[in-house]
């Protein structure tokens, strides 16, 4: 299916690895030039070179901390300088601390909101005039953890698996199988599966989607 993304410019936050890296890759493969934003300069540079070469598109790293007030403006500035605009914004950056609601400190809560809430709001506001002119699309990657679990196999999950293996005394492979079974999943999702979904949602093929919330969790969220 041609998603009509050739020649578009996408700004992806949290693109130095995991789901954001997979989204940047999926969009580049669909013909987008990409501004890949995160904090880790080295990982971003490597990703930009690999994806850019494989997809034959321009992938430009932008180093910014999404919790900082000017983080959004800096990333949009890079997109405007390098290309004419971003047509697509993917808000994905996130590493909020998991844990018991009472055990998390106020600082943990603040940190989470600074990144996952205000970071997304700031980016969207900074990009909005350009997205409106394009007209473009915004895809927000959020989590279903407030209701149920549907983990994707990235570093976040591996850190959790390592803790789980330590607590249970299981080997990593067995811990991986056991945790998936506990959550009642046949397997964990792969970042590329989110990448493909995000590319579709950002495309002209999804123009009739508006404010849709999509669970990509292999049925972990039970619905009729
Ligand atoms: N994995 C899952 O099971 C799962 C499930 C549901 C939702 N999600 C959501 O998917 C998104 C990506 O998760 P992931 O599993 O791919 O996580 P990950 O592998 O830990 O990647 C997180 C990304 O966010 C960036 N990031 C973190 N803090 C940042 C900051 N302050 N400023 C700028 N960038 C920052 C990281 O880059 P740097 O460290 O280089 O800055 C990295 O690129 C998150 O929003 C998460 O809530 C994940």
Residues 66 and 170 both lie in one domain: no
Residues with Cβ within 6 A of ligand 1?
Answer: 14-20, 38-40, 43, 65-67, 92-95, 115, 141, 143, 151-152, 154-157
pLDDT digits (tens, 9 = 90+) for 93-149: 988 888 888 999 999 999 999 999 999 999 999 999 999 999 999 999 998 877 787
Q: Quick check: 202 and 137 in contact, CB under 8 A?
A: yes
Distance 84 CA to ligand 1 centre (A): 27
Of ligand 1's listed atoms, the one at least distance from the Cα of 114 is 31
Least confident piece of the model among 5-14, 24-33, 141-150, 181-190: 141-150
77's CB contacts (< 8 A; 6+ apart) are none
CA proximity to 62, closest of 11, 23, 25, 21: 11
Residues 195 and 136 both lie in one domain: yes
Of ligand 1's listed atoms, the one at least distance from the Cα of 16 is 43
**Helix, strand, coil shares of the chain as percentages rounded to 5?**
45, 10, 40
**CATH code of 124's domain:** 3.40.50.720
In a domain, 179, yes or no: yes
Residues 127 and 75 both lie in one domain: yes
Question: Where is 33: in which H helix or E strand?
Answer: strand 33-38
Residues 42 and 94 both lie in one domain: yes
Residues 170 and 65 both lie in one domain: no
Q: Mutation test of ligand 1: which of 16, 18, 107, 194 has the most ligand atoms closer than 8 Å to its C-beta?
A: 18
Residues 86 and 175 both lie in one domain: no
Distance 42 CA to ligand 1 centre (A): 16
pLDDT digits (tens, 9 = 90+) for 38-83: 999 999 999 999 999 999 999 999 998 888 888 778 888 888 888 8
Distance 8 CA to ligand 1 centre (A): 24
Residues 133 and 49 both lie in one domain: yes
Domain containing 180: what range?
151-188
Q: Check residue 64 and report its DSSP letter.
A: -
Residues 26 and 122 both lie in one domain: yes
* Domains held by the chain: number: 2
In a domain, 199, yes or no: yes
């Amino acid at each position: 299916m041609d998603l009509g993304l050739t020649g578009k410019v996408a700004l992806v936050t949290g693109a130095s690895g995991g789901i954001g890296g997979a989204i940047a890759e999926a969009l580049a493969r669909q013909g987008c030039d990409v501004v890949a934003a995160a904090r880790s300069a080295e990982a971003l540079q490597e990703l930009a070179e690999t994806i850019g070469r494989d997809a034959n598109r321009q992938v430009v790293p932008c180093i910014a901390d999404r919790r900082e007030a000017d983080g959004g403006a800096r990333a949009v500035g890079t997109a405007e300088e390098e290309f004419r605009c971003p047509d697509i914004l993917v808000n994905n950056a996130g590493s909020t601390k998991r844990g018991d609601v009472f055990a998390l400190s106020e600082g943990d809560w603040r940190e989470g909101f600074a990144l996952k809430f205000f970071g997304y709001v700031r980016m969207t506001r900074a990009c909005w005039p350009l997205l409106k002119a394009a007209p473009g699309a915004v895809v927000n990657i959020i989590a279903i953890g407030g209701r149920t679990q549907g983990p994707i196999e990235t570093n976040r999950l591996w850190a959790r698996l390592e803790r789980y293996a330590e607590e249970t005394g299981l080997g990593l492979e067995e811990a991986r199988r056991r945790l998936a079974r506990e959550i009642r999943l046949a397997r964990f999702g792969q970042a590329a599966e989110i990448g493909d979904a995000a590319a579709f949602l950002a495309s002209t093929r999804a123009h009739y989607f508006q404010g849709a919330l999509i669970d990509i969790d292999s049925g972990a969220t039970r619905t009729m």
